[in-house]
């Protein structure tokens, strides 16, 4: 199994994050999942803890520095260490004022960046501080892995249905941070990558899932699936990039988009 014996810190406990937790447990990993919604963390723990003792959940707002630090301390207290981090939390900022740039509110911009880019920064920073501190005393084959959640909208825009420019910019920031950090931390044997999904059937895409015009658009824009993507397909790719099978991959952004970026 690709993750046997490893501990995975997942920032998020629903949608693609939850699917990744489920697969990671099947792969033999221990999972520590963090989300600010207690209903979400409680549901995931109740679902999976009945099958295994290898999962723990924790409620924290990952946009708050102190809460991120507390979450990592709790993960280490629970499992003794962690080997890989998947940052999968984020929001659509539309209800906060995100939209086309001329109409986007400052609150929409700030809220979207806080929940998408700032959380990625805080989670990555905490993980890297831990990995670097243990690096000099660990055998050469042990290292750290970080995987961030981006989006195809960061570099493949769509004007009719997805004109949320704060969201695109926040995910672009995640990509830039991922690539620049990957270059810096490669000598520490830490690999850092991102995945960029197309439109996925997750809680964040509820609006799109109930819009016939968007569903018809997606049928052509994501021709490999002819529909919204299954969160499990994103999780499968995440598991690979979090495992030792991807130990020589870093600074990459993997599009999992059903053909979005190559379709009209």
Instruction: Enter the tokens of residue 243.
Output: 């495992």
135 φ/ψ angles, rounded to the nearest 5 degrees: -55, -45
Q: How many whole angstroms separate alpha carbon 160 and alpha carbon 76?
A: 45
48 φ/ψ angles, rounded to the nearest 5 degrees: -100, -25
With a CB cutoff of 8 Å and minimum separation 6, the contacts of 262 are none
Catalytic hit among 130, 167, 184, 185: 167
Q: How many whole angstroms separate alpha carbon 62 and alpha carbon 160?
A: 31
Closest CA to 140 of 185, 186, 89, 189: 189
Closest CA to 138 of 67, 74, 81, 75: 81
Instruction: Enter the tokens of residue 136.
Output: 């000099």
Whether 184 sits among the annotated catalytic residues: the reply is no
Active site residues per annotation: 167
């Amino acid at each position: 199994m690709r993750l046997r014996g490893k501990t995975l810190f997942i920032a998020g406990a629903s949608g693609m994050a939850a699917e990744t937790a489920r697969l990671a447990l099947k792969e033999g990993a221990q999972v520590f999942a963090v989300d600010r919604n207690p209903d979400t963390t409680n549901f995931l723990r109740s679902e999976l803890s009945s099958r295994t003792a290898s999962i723990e959940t924790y409620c924290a707002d990952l946009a708050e520095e102190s809460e991120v630090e507390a979450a990592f301390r709790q993960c280490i207290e629970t499992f003794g260490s962690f080997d890989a981090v998947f940052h999968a939390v984020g929001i659509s900022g539309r209800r906060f004022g995100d939209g086309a740039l001329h109409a986007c509110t400052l609150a929409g911009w700030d809220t979207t960046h806080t929940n998408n880019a700032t959380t990625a920064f805080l989670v990555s920073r905490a993980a890297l501080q831990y990995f670097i501190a243990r690096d000099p005393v660990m055998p050469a084959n042990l290292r750290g892995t970080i995987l961030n959640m981006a989006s195809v909208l960061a570099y493949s825009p769509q004007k009719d249905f997805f004109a949320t420019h704060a969201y695109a910019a926040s995910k672009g920031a995640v990509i830039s941070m991922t690539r620049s950090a990957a270059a810096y931390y490669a000598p520490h044997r830490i690999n850092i990558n991102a995945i960029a999904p197309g439109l996925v059937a997750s809680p964040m895409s509820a609006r799109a899932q109930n819009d016939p015009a968007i569903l018809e658009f997606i049928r052509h824009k994501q021709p490999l699936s002819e529909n919204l993507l299954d969160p499990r397909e994103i999780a499968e790719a995440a598991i690979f990039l979090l495992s030792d099978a991807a130990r020589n991959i870093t600074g990459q952004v993997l599009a999992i988009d059903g053909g979005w970026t190559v379709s009209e």
